A and B are shown apart, each in its own frame.
Chain A
């Protein structure tokens, strides 16, 4: 079978750069 290709979407990202944002993010990581 031909593997199903995913649809390409525009690459994007969100950045957390202040210490408070990073700490809040890390607190929710496993």
Chain B
């Protein structure tokens, strides 16, 4: 149970009007900032937290694995992410 993935019924899409990613799920809508969206894009059940941070390092400067773990915990609290 170390690899996060989006729960069934949760979909990450892009809102062209607002120029931002949007996470759609049965109970509501969640609007992530750019780094949170980047984390979500890698939540496919194949990456551990450290791997997600490493991959984000190819795009962002100063990635903190603690930030990745922290936002994933919040996503889990909101029931949009589960661990495999």
* Contacts across chains A and B counted by CB atoms under 8 Å: 76
Measured in the bound complex, the distance between the Cα atoms of B22 and A14 in whole Å is: 10
User: Which size bracket describes the interface of A in this complex?
Assistant: 20 to 34
Asked if A17 is at the interface (CB within 8 A of a chain B CB), the reply is yes
Please determine whether A29 and B71 come into contact, CB atoms closer than 8 angstroms: no
Tell me what chain B mostly uses at the interface: helix, strand, loop, or mixed.
Answer: mixed
Measured in the bound complex, the distance between the Cα atoms of B62 and A9 in whole Å is: 8
Please determine whether B35 and A17 come into contact, CB atoms closer than 8 angstroms: no
Nearest opposing residue in chain A for B71, CB measure:
A11
Measured in the bound complex, the distance between the Cα atoms of B71 and A1 in whole Å is: 32
B70 contact set on A, CB distance < 8 A: 11
Asked if B34 is at the interface (CB within 8 A of a chain A CB), the reply is yes
Q: A16-B31, A22-B29, A28-B17 are in contact. Are A11 and B61 (CB under 8 A)?
A: no
Asked if B49 is at the interface (CB within 8 A of a chain A CB), the reply is no
Q: Mark B15-31, 1 if CB is under 8 A from A, else 0.
A: 11110001100011111
- A residues near B (Cβ < 8 Å) are 5-18, 21-22, 25-26, 28-30
